[in-house]
Structure 1
């Protein structure tokens, strides 16, 4: 548009000039070598303009003649370059379509024509990857490292090849190089952070997380959560060797993520060891308001070692008042009341739990209550039988597996902050659960392989396997159940088959309330109120 306006302006100016000369007639006389040449002003002006145009045309012709070889060579090279780019484009399409033969042919053709074009190296590398030629792909990507424009592309390709070949050290090296060259490169920063977290390099992972946050590769809220998990992991690592550093890390983690239960319990435990019970209590209470959890209730109850059972009960009631009506509040008070032998209070707290929330833990507490004051064996057996059929309690799960304790990194996938406190989604029926060969060792718990999507709860107090009732009219009472403490969270449970460590099966127990209570009504046998 601008060129048209300029052209119109020039034509208008020339026309205006000639009009101006036409309005002012005159003659021009030229005397040269004794001859006089006379013409009008208008004719002289037109002749001069024609002379300039002819001169310009002549100069253009001369320049074109001298530049003709170069122009012809450029035209030929342009055609060749276009042919190379067509081959490159067709090779990329063949890669996308999975046509190995055409991809290799177009890769060779484009490389022959375009030579140093970076895309030809990419096409060659992808063709090699498509054919499974890892050595050829690595050679193409290594060639890219020599050019600053393609260096990051080469590092990315070498990283992918190292992962495919099962070489984590090489993959990490390429990710580090890429992160140094371009801190804002998302794949490099995330890959380096995930590798450091999976290997337990907490300090390095914290530094990389800060760099990723500064480069805006991660949202601030997600970064705070991951930092809290890393600080908790570092605190657990330094709990025995450097309690002060561990306490500082746990305290910062609680500030970043108050609902992170392991961080709160670690901070409270370290504060209690230093004799600062008030701060330990404050940490647990703050976390309890965000997420009531049985581990928090246990830590709150034992925050001051040596307290009497009545003191622990009062402390549990205070904790429950922070989240009244929550199932964990009722269970915490009931547990403390049983320890204090306040059976009436324990019954009231358990009776306040809705029917749909009465899980296995509820039934086991009721069995303890029935065994406590009067020792009703029939009632105990019935609640233990109900515990087998009751919904499972929430457990620490990661990647579809159940674990006895929280960990910062999933041992299945190596993902950071993969553990969740939730109810297992699926449990096998009693006649479908396979046999288990359990071995307890003093090592870190190893994951037990489970065939997806089956998830089985963690081990609970082992009930007694009752013998089936005989055929006589009056069945003999089953033996008194043996109470056992579940294995500590630090113990590892290994299985010889693809089964979770919680597949302990309890044989069905007859609903016989016992000889002395054979005539009791069902309402008296349950006695929740």
Structure 2
């Protein structure tokens, strides 16, 4: 209804204007040489309007012809962009489906249509990586790394590629470049941590984690590799603070104190470790200074007093008593170990020796990974099987002897 009223109002105004022009009095005369043209004012105004309309249309046509090449190019560019975006989408789907030939074909089509745009380079690099084309993977990621806004993606890909190829020097360079492009990335922090651990740069890796198990393992390894006792002591204290039950950390602390001439403090560190978590490795270190079987038995008594009744305390007391030929004490402590839950065969072996029988086969003590459950004879800061840091825990029955 409003539209009808609006149309009628405009029509009425136009009719009124036309009527007013048509009633204008006077004539218009134009002379050109021998020619004279005379007409009324309304006719002259209509002629001027038609001339103005003609030139307006002419200018618009000429302007359209001048803009035609650019508009045609823009239309073709828009069409190529749409086709290129569709190719990128198909390449992403093929990558998700792990269809390497299709991914490479669509990625190539995308680069042909779009040029070396970030998305075209990204799908091209990932398609080449999926196909195993290392040279093309590196080349595409290198081009992407030069992009002002998307450079992190290029360094991200180059870092992964260098890591997979085992080129740690290149991986370190790309990690630093990626950090500059996108500071504080959690993924990058994890990769830098993994890289530092694999290169054995345990002190550097300590600054990239706060997990207690990882800190304890890395600080212990850093203490073992320290250039001087002072550095070793600092790292060992950090390790024991992170995990007071980790035997290698306690051993590293005791060794650092011993190397600094603080023998009594080193022995106290072993006693404190035994109170926290008795371990045969601590007993071996504490008894090392004892030169005779009786002295070893006395040292074992000092150690066992820190955690009386514990299986390991009873076992070390039984073993040293057996070595000192204190058969009654050896039997008493071996039976106490069995009563406390000893099930790895060490107590049975002591009792068998006392009875003159051959010792039964028993599991070999060692370390077990909490991540992959693999058994290891020696402690290392990372699991040799799954490379998890700080995952090895002591077990007295890891494998049959």
TM-score by length of 2: 0.71
Partner of 2:48: none
Task: Compare the two structures and name the one with the higher helix fraction.
Answer: 2
Q: Residues 194 and 415 of structure 1 are in contact (CA less than 8 Å); yes or no, is this contact kept in structure 2? A: no
Partner of 1:359: 344
Partner of 1:419: 392
Q: Please show how residues 440-479 of structure 1 align to structure 2 within 5 Å.
A: 456-457=399-400
The CA deviation at 1:264 is 0.8
The CA deviation at 1:274 is 5.0
CA gap 1:127/1:273 in 2 versus in 1, 3 angstroms: closer
Give the superposed CA RMSD.
3.6
The CA deviation at 1:121 is 0.9
CA offset digits 1:94-114 (Å, max 9, x no partner): 222234444334323322333
Partner of 1:236: 224
The CA deviation at 1:119 is 0.7
CA offset digits 1:487-512 (Å, max 9, x no partner): xxxxxxxxxxxxxxx5xxxxxxxxxx
Partner of 2:152: 152
Out of 257, 269, 272, the residue aligned to residue 286 of structure 1 is 272
Partner of 1:301: 287
Structure 1 position 328 matched with structure 2 position 312: yes
Partner of 1:268: 254
- Distance in 1 separating the partners of 2:184 and 2:172: 17
Q: Residues 394 and 424 of structure 1 are in contact (CA less than 8 Å); yes or no, is this contact kept in structure 2? A: yes
The CA deviation at 1:154 is 1.0
Partner of 2:10: none
Structure 1 position 253 matched with structure 2 position 226: no
CA gap 1:312/1:275 in 2 versus in 1, 3 angstroms: farther
Partner of 2:303: 319
CA gap 1:404/1:78 in 2 versus in 1, 3 angstroms: closer
Structure 1 position 192 matched with structure 2 position 177: no
Q: Residues 338 and 346 of structure 1 are in contact (CA less than 8 Å); yes or no, is this contact kept in structure 2? A: yes
The CA deviation at 1:347 is 1.0
- Distance in 2 separating the partners of 1:130 and 1:72: 38
The CA deviation at 1:337 is 2.2
- After alignment, is 273-282 or 119-128 more displaced? 273-282
- Distance in 2 separating the partners of 1:103 and 1:407: 42
Partner of 1:478: none
Structure 1 residues not aligned, in runs of 5+:
1-10, 12-34, 36-60, 213-217, 371-378, 426-455, 458-501, 503-529
Structure 1 position 225 matched with structure 2 position 213: yes
The CA deviation at 1:91 is 2.1
Q: Residues 213 and 391 of structure 2 are in contact (CA less than 8 Å); yes or no, is this contact kept in structure 1? A: no
Partner of 2:91: 91
TM-score by length of 1: 0.56
- Distance in 2 separating the partners of 1:402 and 1:100: 38
Q: Residues 126 and 137 of structure 1 are in contact (CA less than 8 Å); yes or no, is this contact kept in structure 2? A: yes
CA gap 1:90/1:234 in 2 versus in 1, 3 angstroms: closer
CA gap 1:196/1:103 in 2 versus in 1, 3 angstroms: closer
- Distance in 1 separating the partners of 2:102 and 2:230: 65
- Distance in 2 separating the partners of 1:130 and 1:253: 41
CA gap 1:362/1:92 in 2 versus in 1, 3 angstroms: same
- Distance in 2 separating the partners of 1:286 and 1:393: 26
CA offset digits 1:412-437 (Å, max 9, x no partner): 55554343312555xxxxxxxxxxxx
Partner of 1:179: 179
- Distance in 2 separating the partners of 1:98 and 1:277: 61
Structure 2 residues not aligned, in runs of 5+:
3-24, 26-55
Structure 1 position 406 matched with structure 2 position 379: yes
- Distance in 2 separating the partners of 1:126 and 1:196: 26
Q: Residues 363 and 383 of structure 1 are in contact (CA less than 8 Å); yes or no, is this contact kept in structure 2? A: no
- Distance in 1 separating the partners of 2:101 and 2:321: 77
Partner of 1:110: 110
Partner of 1:140: 140
- Distance in 2 separating the partners of 1:273 and 1:340: 30
- Distance in 2 separating the partners of 1:267 and 1:144: 48
Aligned length: 341
- Distance in 2 separating the partners of 1:94 and 1:112: 18
